[in-house]
Structure 1
Amino acid sequence: MDKRTYVVTGAGSGIGAATADHLASTGARVIRSDVHDADLTAQEGREQLLSQVTAASGGRIDGLVAVAGIGAPSALTVRLNFFGTIATLEGLRPLLAASDRPRAVAVSSLSAIVAADEDLVRACLTMDEEAAAAAVTSLVESGRGHIVYPSTKLALNRWLRRAALRPEWAGAGIPLNAVAPGVVDTAAARRTFLDDPVTRERVAAAMPQPLGFPGPVAPIASLLAWTVSADNAFMTGQILYADGGAEATLLAATGG
């Protein structure tokens, strides 16, 4: 049985809850966090998460699964999806470094390859949170709010691929990766667009999934769990598309 200690953010529902349950089923100890425990859109909540995890873990964790995220056309989306995720990864990295087999993974999205705003991505990668929030406001006011979510995930991808190679990550023996799901059947997805036939059809056309639309949650949870398991000893800096074949379909359509 796996006696590792894991932290899962966004564990109250959807992919986060499924991943936490999957890890717990292996016999691991799982520290679950959701917005009710720590609001990662704000500095106070980010500090609260670090304090709570440090106390609950005793100062050492073996794996971190950063799932927490939202898709609203709002500045809160960039504050959570990018800045909250980075604060979680960097803040808990010292606790990972105390493990003999540390691993970390973040949740990205297939949508990052479909559309994005480079100004918003640039503001994220310069770590200017207020400029990023202002860029989101401009996008929403110009009727382009739908591009906020994928932009935050593209920024996360770019940050992660660079960070994973740094001395404090790869140099410290901590694999850092991301899993990019396609559209999966979660309560949030149903509430946001799956229950609306028109929006559902539009999203399915933009992100075609040959293995089924929407996809199941369980395989995403299983993949996330593997990336933070002791078995993943030699993969880092990767964006793993678990999307029912959507990325391959979109690349084929453009000759990629």
Structure 2
Amino acid sequence: MGVYAVTGTASGMGAATAARLAAAGHTVIGVDLKDAPIIADIGTAGGRAHAAREILAASGGALDGAAAIAGVGPSLKSSADLVSINYFGQVALLDALRPALAEGGAGRAVVIGSNSASTVPLVDTSLVDLCLAGDEAGARERADEGQAAMPPEILDYAPSIGAYASAKLALAHWARRTAVTPEWARQGVTLNVIAPGAVLTPLMTGSTGGAADQDPDEFPTPMPLGRFGQADDIAFWVEQFLKPEAGFATGAVLYVDGGTDAAMRPDAQPTAWVL
């Protein structure tokens, strides 16, 4: 049996993932703001360092896998805080855990992205670039500027939606760039992204005014399967990427969104390599 670190275990996809791994007999080291073995705020440098120290201590410095699931939604009032949590918190924690994942030569890492990265037309490429450059102060400032420029009707509904989509796009790009570096790939550590769509978790219902009561066919984006996702729909794929048998998959972005991205951008993937 393996040892897995999972963030966001207090609810939603993190709780569902922890439950699946525990049911399979694995040891789960959970991290969240509350109701978890390790209490930490990955939106701050101190919280990230504390989480990493506690995970490494609990695991003895060797991990079979890590799932970075903790995050906040576009209803968060501070776009700057959202970027710190959803991008910098995820990246810093996975970077800190990489040596423990490499210890056994076959570590698995998964991070939760979002189909908002490709289906929300509010991505700020300058914010994406600041994230990828590791400039947290600059990214926070840019996120606040972008939020201030949003129309009032968007601010009332989802004040941080632009920063949310931008941070999730940056996270996907970071993972693809990072997964193929020698420090990860040649150490046997895989890194993949799952991009959920409309999944009924506290994060989503808090961001959409109670999506559980909505008709999927009246949702703002298409729902080809005619239903919203459940937390376990995502946890299933997190578990698959964490398995030892998943060793030849790295740098992938898997959409688990009921077909939303495919319906909106049917020809966007794959794209041809043009010389």
TM-score tier after normalising by the smaller chain length: over 0.9
Distance 2:171 2:269 in 1: 25
Residue number in structure 1 paired with 2:203? 188
Contact 1:73 1:148 in 2 (8 A): no
For the residue of structure 2 that corresponds to 1:178, the secondary structure is: strand
Residue number in structure 2 paired with 1:224? 238
How far did residue 150 of structure 1 move? Answer: 0.8
Residue number in structure 1 paired with 2:140? 133
Residue 58 of structure 2: which of 56, 59, 80 is its match?
Answer: 56
Q: Runs of at least 4 residues of structure 1 off by over 6 A?
A: 196-203, 253-256
Distance 2:7 2:162 in 1: 24
For the residue of structure 1 that corresponds to 2:84, the secondary structure is: helix
Residue number in structure 1 paired with 2:129? 122
Distance 1:137 1:80 in 2: 14
Distance 1:133 1:198 in 2: 34
For the residue of structure 1 that corresponds to 2:72, the secondary structure is: coil
Residue number in structure 2 paired with 1:104? 109
Distance 2:150 2:230 in 1: 31
Shifted more, 212-221 versus 14-23: the winner is 212-221
Distance 1:197 1:56 in 2: 37
How far did residue 98 of structure 1 move? Answer: 0.8
Contact 1:193 1:199 in 2 (8 A): no
Distance 1:180 1:31, change over 3 A: same
Residue number in structure 1 paired with 2:167? 152
Distance 2:211 2:63 in 1: 41
How far did residue 191 of structure 1 move? Answer: 2.2
Distance 1:169 1:255 in 2: 25
Runs (5+) with no aligned partner, structure 1: none
For the residue of structure 1 that corresponds to 2:251, the secondary structure is: coil
Matched ranges for 1:3-152 at <5 A = 3-36=1-34, 37-71=39-73, 72-74=76-78, 75-114=80-119, 115=121, 116-143=123-150, 145-152=160-167
Q: TM-score, normalised by structure 2?
A: 0.86
Q: Aligned letter for 1:92?
A: L
Distance 1:177 1:66 in 2: 11
Question: What percentage of residue pairs aligned between the two structures are identical?
Answer: 38
Residue 247 of structure 1: which of 261, 265, 270 is its match?
Answer: 261
Contact 1:5 1:62 in 2 (8 A): yes
Q: TM-score, normalised by structure 1?
A: 0.93
How far did residue 245 of structure 1 move? Answer: 0.8
Runs (5+) with no aligned partner, structure 2: 152-159, 271-275
Distance 2:212 2:200 in 1: 14
Distance 1:73 1:123, change over 3 A: farther
For the residue of structure 2 that corresponds to 1:109, the secondary structure is: coil
Distance 1:238 1:73, change over 3 A: farther
Q: Aligned letter for 1:56?
A: A
Q: Aligned letter for 1:19?
A: T
RMSD after superposition: 2.2
How far did residue 81 of structure 1 move? Answer: 0.6
Distance 1:136 1:201, change over 3 A: farther
Task: For residues 126-161 of structure 1, give each alpha carbon's deviation from its aligned partner in whole angstroms, at most 9, with x where no partner exists.
Answer: 110000000111011112642111110000011111
